[in-house]
Each structure stands twice: as C-alpha cells, then as structure tokens.
Amino acid sequence: STMFLVGLSGGIASGKSTVVAVLRELGCAVIDADVIARQVVQPHSKAHQQILQHFGTEILLENGEINREALGNIIFSQPEKRRLLNSITHPEILKEMLKQVLKYFVLGYRYVILDIPLLFETRGLTRFMKYTVLVYCDPLTQLARLMKRSGLGVAEAEARIGSQLPLEEKRKWATHVIDNSGDRDSTRRQVLRLHARLEDSLDFLWARLAVGTALAGFGGLAFLLIRHFIS
C-alpha cells in the first residue's frame, strides 16, 4: 500500500471551490495551489524579487505585496509574459507542494488532493496523479455564473472562458468528473461517492510508516516519497 495523489481541477466559474469545501468537510487532505501561489510571492521572497525585476514596481500595492489584478491584466493579454511568470513561480510552488505532500504522508493519509486550476493545461503534472478529477458544468451555466459573480458583460465573460482550455476538452483527460451544472445537493452527492471510492482504494499507512521511520529516519522517508512520485 502507498499513498497516492489526486489532481483536482475545473474551469473559471465551474464550481471547484464548492467541491473543495465538501472535501474539506469530509476531512480530506487538500493542497491548494492558488494559496501556495500567493504565499511564494510574498515580499522578500525569491519569486517576489524576480517578478519585480521583470514586471516593474508598478504592479505593487502600497504594502509591498503584488497587485494580483494588475499582474493578471498583464499576463492575460500577453502570453509571453504569462510564460515568464510561470517560469518564476512554478518551481517555488512545486517545492512547497512537495513539502505539504510529505507532511500528509507522515500523517498517514490514504491520498492527497492537489487543487490545481491549470492541471490539464500544463499536463506535466498529470503524470504524477493516480486519478484526476474535473469539476464540470455546461457552457451556458458557466457563462451565466461568471457574469453574475464578476459583473462582466457577455463578451468579457466569453473572453475569460475562452482563454482556458474548454471544459469539454478537459473532460477527455479526467478519470473522474463531478458535474456541477445542477444544484449543490447533486454536487455534494457526487463528491460523497467519489470520496467513498478513493477511501476504499488503499489501507492506511500507519504500520508501514512506523517501520520506515524506525529503519530510515525522516530523511530516508522523504527520499522514498520523492522517488515514488518521480518514478
């Protein structure tokens, strides 16, 4: 038995936050890539300094933090700038995610959910996931939700949705799909079924963890974990 990773993604306004909230209620280990992305660009961090070098101080707020909206406007319209930003932040995000995965491994979780908005766009991370979960909703529902949530017009909302890989395309790559086109109760029932399937996949790791810790110590355990995920 070994712990495994589950990649969770969706699209703008598809309702991924609703699914994550249910998973957290169920006690699942969820690592939020968006939260980590904000952490790794805090003032005085390596990524923060590199971003300022390439994007200038005009993207800063008064408290020295990066104005995510201003930076988002730049990378939304300039793909080369988006690639540059990703090259700065992604290595730092991955390092922090690995630290958190290790923590949950030590705690004996059966699986860890990695909440990654662009999981299917980047594709590179999917090879590390035993399962991938897409939070889906139909195109008309997605458009209506985005317009209501963000106060955007039809053209603006369609442009935001169009900047991402279509949900129908992502659906082809996902091993599990949560259809969030309906009401919250329907979505919750689907999440509960998924949780039950994942929980039944493997046994707990306590015995294996105790033996591994006794024989190899924490450093050896970390090595085994990293080797498992890159093999």
Asked whether the predicted pLDDT for residue 86 surpasses 60, the reply is yes
The predicted model gives 74-97 an average pLDDT of: 91
Q: How confident is the model at residue 202 (pLDDT cuts 50, 70, 90)?
A: low
In a domain, residue 34? The reply is: no
Q: Are residues 117 and 191 in the same domain?
A: yes
Distance of CA 57 to the CA centre of its chain: 28
119, 53: one domain: no
Residue 45's domain comprises 40-108
Cα gap 55→131, rounded to integer Å: 36
Domain count, the chain: 3
Give the DSSP letter string of 215-228: HHHHHHHHHHHHHH
- Whole-model pTM: value is 0.79
Residue 141 shares a structural domain with residue 99: no
- 173 is written with which tokens? 């790559």
Are residues 62 and 168 part of one domain?
no
**Tens-digit pLDDT profile for residues 116-169:** 988 998 778 888 999 999 999 999 999 999 999 999 999 999 998 998 999 999
Q: Which amino acid is at 124?
A: G
In this prediction, residue 206 has a pLDDT band, given cuts at 50, 70 and 90, of very low
Q: In the predicted model, what is the mean pLDDT of residues 194-198?
A: 94
Q: Tell me whether residue 119 is exposed, middle or buried, using C-beta atoms within 10 angstroms of its C-beta: 0 to 12, 13 to 18, 19 or more.
A: buried
Quick one: 117 and 24 in the same domain? yes
DSSP single-letter state for residue 116: -
